[in-house]
Amino acid sequence: MAIEDRVRELAAEIQPPDESAAGEARKRHLELTKPPGSLGRLEELGARLAGMAGECPPPVPESPAVVVCAGDHGVLERGVSPWSQAVTAAMVRNFCNGGAAVNAIAKTVGARVSVLDVGVASELERHPLLRAAKVRPGTDDLSRTRAMGREEAARALMAGAGVAEELVESGGVDLLVTGDMGIGNTTPAAALISTFTGRPPEETTGRGTGVDDKTLKLKVNVVREALDLHTPDAEDPIGVLAQIGGLEHAAIVGVILTGAVYGIPVVLDGVVSNSAALVASALAPHSAGYVVTGHRSAEPGARISLEHLRLDPLLDLSMRLGEGTGGLLAVPLVQAAARTLGEMATLEEMGIG
């Protein structure tokens, strides 16, 4: 079977969330020992979790995991980031050794860390936390040629799907957080966001690692050049990934689709994850029903992506690190939304009428 056919089969497995269960959750919130609506947006999150699980109350996710997808980018040659490509591999080693922000925050919320190499330019040493599925050692410069081939994009997507499936099937994971690592990866993220939302590069392109005004202007022009060169077709998501995406973006798409297949929450991190969610939605519109937006990244493309997907972020901490850090911080909110539905007493049980 061709690898693109496998992607299509995966996308076709996703069922819409159970609106009956979601409606039951909304009704139950009216019966709990609190004023109606007093838990604010936590109530609607609980309803969405019930829809994902197909039952009310929904199960409380007790075994979260963050999947940090890593890859390098040929477009870095254009000067879109002041950081060198070697930093990607160095940070992957840091994740594996437990010294990064994602490790500290994952430990805080009780999540395991899994790192997926789908496209790091450097060779990496084996490590228990590292899944090696390198499709190629980084992409080509998307502003001058295709970032990768269609088959490569599909393989990277299925690599992400494979890790997610392994975590759920063998590891008992019941909540996935998407993470990313790749110096230069906010440039393809901006290009993807422009393609799927129709917004211009001036609006979707941000400062990434904190570039100055001159570099930001260059970055916007690079994204525009890529879009003019390829004229990507949003109706062909795999083709778009191949033209202007990143290997880690594709892998995150696979994580999102697999979480949706299993009916478990997928908590998005920042702008790279948001751009991948747009691709996932284009492949499987129902996948957005299983996505929870952990936080609002400081990157402008994040807001545009979430508005397009009609998703509200749970947190707004002006974060833009990536790695899955912002998504992880929202895990306790997801757990609380499920637990309040399942463990709060009702007014009837308390004898309050």
Each residue of 53-91: pLDDT tens digit? 999 999 999 999 999 999 999 999 999 999 999 999 999
Nearest partner of 200 among 59, 300, 58, judged by Cα: 300
pTM reported for the whole predicted model: 0.98
353 pLDDT more than 80: no
Asked if residue 24 has pLDDT above 80, the reply is: yes
Q: What is the pLDDT of residues 109-123, one digit of tens each?
A: 999 999 999 999 999
User: Which tens digit of pLDDT belongs to each residue from 316-346?
Assistant: 999 999 999 999 999 999 999 999 999 999 9
Q: Which of 65, 110, 23, 16 is nearest to 341 (CA)?
A: 23
The catalytic site residues sit at 323
- pLDDT category at 35 given cuts 50, 70, 90 is very high
Residues in the chain: 353
- Mean pLDDT in the chain? 97
Q: What is the pLDDT of residue 236?
A: 98
| Domains of the chain, each with CATH number or no CATH | 3-59+339-343 (1.10.1610.10), 64-334 (3.40.50.10210)
Rounded to an integer, the average pLDDT of 1-7 is 93
Averaged over 275-291, what is the pLDDT? 98
Identify whether 200 is preceded by a cis peptide bond (ω within 30 of 0). Answer: no
User: Residue 52: which H helix or E strand, with range?
Assistant: helix 41-53
CA distances from 99 to 93, 106, 127, 248 (A): 9, 11, 14, 21
